[in-house]
Amino acid sequence: MEVEEAGELETAGKDVAEAEYHSHDFEWEELKEEVESGPAFSYHLSPFPEPAASTTSPPQLSSEAWRSFHRRHASGKFFKERRYLLKEFPELCSSKDHAKVLEVGCGNGSTAVSILRSSERITVFACDCSKDTLERANEIISNTKGIDIKDRFHPFLMDVSKETFPDWLFCKACQCSLGKDAALLLDPSHHGIRKEHPVFLRENQCCAGGMDFITMIFTLSAIPFDIMPTTIEQCVSVLKPGGLLLFRDYGLYDMTMLRFLPHQRVGFREYMRSDGTFSYFFSLDTVRELFHAAGLVELELEYCCVKSVNRKKGKTMQRVWVHGKFQKPPT
């Protein structure tokens, strides 16, 4: 992970939270023009060999790289509360009573903590492929002043690139009862108490009943591009009809993309850091296609363009993030 991603950037004359919120310090089209006409950047634009010939790592290697990343950074240094998220996604704090959120790839809990703080009635389920980071997230959140997380924070271990979400989040029978297909409801074996029955479910409760929100904050870019569609489908399967998927991630031509060297390219707009973790840089069209293919409706989609100053190095950097909000059609 980049130093800048750890929050060591200073942002010229602004509070960081304010600066990261929906900013348009520069025009993305102008940056695009500069990058696409600059010979120094040409290797970022060239087509990439087909998957069979490419060096893209299989998903288990990518998850393993994240696990060792978290083992190496056990201090919690990469925790940085994302207060700006509530400005980006105000529905998280203005939502109806007892909303349920699934934070995918929660890391040390930077996003989860802001959501938990926004309302005492919100419950956050949070998964990650690293046991170490889940433990750290639990520790950090439990020790955060002003948040009572009792029964409101449920971290669980899961590799979203190859596993399916546990039934206790949203079981098939409950999904069907919300949709038109009621066939499964007639089959009592589909609506029993799960073998795995987490303590937060009441005795007679088969599952959490689906999520009102899913947050994917700098997580999809960490997953190899070819398995993004199935990962998104997975996430959508536990979202209630009418629920929202809230997305924020690296945008095309972000400064951190332009700093990757040619040998670090592992796919089109896809790079591998020296520690083996992946980073993909999204255009709006790619995000649109990925989420539409999973049956979601686009509500908001734009680039956030922020000029940041690294005072130590005296450098100005152009950061690009994608902000997206998608809805699962109500049945």
Ligand X SMILES: C[S@@+](CC[C@H](N)C(=O)[O-])C[C@H]1O[C@@H](n2cnc3c(N)ncnc32)[C@H](O)[C@@H]1O
Decide if residue 217 touches ligand X (CB under 6 A): yes
Decide if residue 222 touches ligand X (CB under 6 A): yes
Decide if residue 223 touches ligand X (CB under 6 A): yes
Structure tokens at 147: 């948040």
The three-state secondary structure class of 311 is coil
In whole angstroms, how close is the CB of 77 to ligand X at the nearest point?
A: 12
In whole angstroms, how close is the CB of 161 to ligand X at the nearest point?
A: 4
Decide if residue 296 touches ligand X (CB under 6 A): no
Q: Pick the binder of ligand X from 20, 88, 132, 159 (CB under 6 A).
A: 159
Cβ-proximal residue to ligand X, closest one? 105
Are the beta carbons of 133 and 122 closer than 8 angstroms?
no
C-alpha–C-alpha distance, residues 17 and 134, integer Å: 24
Q: How many residues bind ligand X (CB under 6 A)?
A: 21
Decide if residue 254 touches ligand X (CB under 6 A): no
Are the beta carbons of 2 and 11 closer than 8 angstroms?
no
Q: Which stretch binds ligand X (CB under 6 A): 38-46, 106-114, 262-270, 284-292?
A: 106-114
C-alpha–C-alpha distance, residues 230 and 160, integer Å: 9
Are the beta carbons of 21 and 88 closer than 8 angstroms?
yes
Instruction: Tell me whether residue 153 or residue 173 sits nearer to ligand X (CB atom).
Output: 153
In whole angstroms, how close is the CB of 272 to ligand X at the nearest point?
A: 13
Q: Which residues contact 297 (CB under 8 A, 6 or more apart)?
A: 326, 327, 328, 329
CA–centroid distance for 36 within its chain? 28
Nearest to 255 by CA among 320, 324, 322: 320
Decide if residue 324 touches ligand X (CB under 6 A): no
Decide if residue 251 touches ligand X (CB under 6 A): no
In whole angstroms, how close is the CB of 163 to ligand X at the nearest point?
A: 8
Decide if residue 249 touches ligand X (CB under 6 A): no
Decide if residue 107 touches ligand X (CB under 6 A): yes
Decide if residue 323 touches ligand X (CB under 6 A): no
Q: Pick the binder of ligand X from 23, 123, 138, 161 (CB under 6 A).
A: 161
- Where helices occur in the chain by DSSP H, the ranges are 16-20, 28-37, 42-45, 59-72, 85-88, 91-94, 110-118, 131-142, 172-178, 228-237, 255-258, 284-293
Residues 13-42 that bind ligand X (CB under 6 A): none
C-alpha–C-alpha distance, residues 302 and 323, integer Å: 5
Decide if residue 118 touches ligand X (CB under 6 A): no
DSSP 239-281: EEEEEEEEEEEEBTT-HHHHTS-GGGEEETTEEE-TTS-EEE-
Decide if residue 133 touches ligand X (CB under 6 A): yes
In whole angstroms, how close is the CB of 214 to ligand X at the nearest point?
A: 11
In whole angstroms, how close is the CB of 150 to ligand X at the nearest point?
A: 22
Instruction: Tell me whether residue 82 or residue 265 sits nearer to ligand X (CB atom).
Output: 82
Structure tokens at 269: 């707009």
Residues 64-103 that bind ligand X (CB under 6 A): 66, 82
Are the beta carbons of 269 and 290 closer than 8 angstroms?
no
Q: Pick the binder of ligand X from 19, 86, 116, 160 (CB under 6 A).
A: 160
Decide if residue 218 touches ligand X (CB under 6 A): yes
Query: By the criterion CB under 6 A, which residues form the site for ligand X?
Result: 63, 66, 82, 105-107, 110-111, 127-130, 133, 159-161, 217-219, 222-223
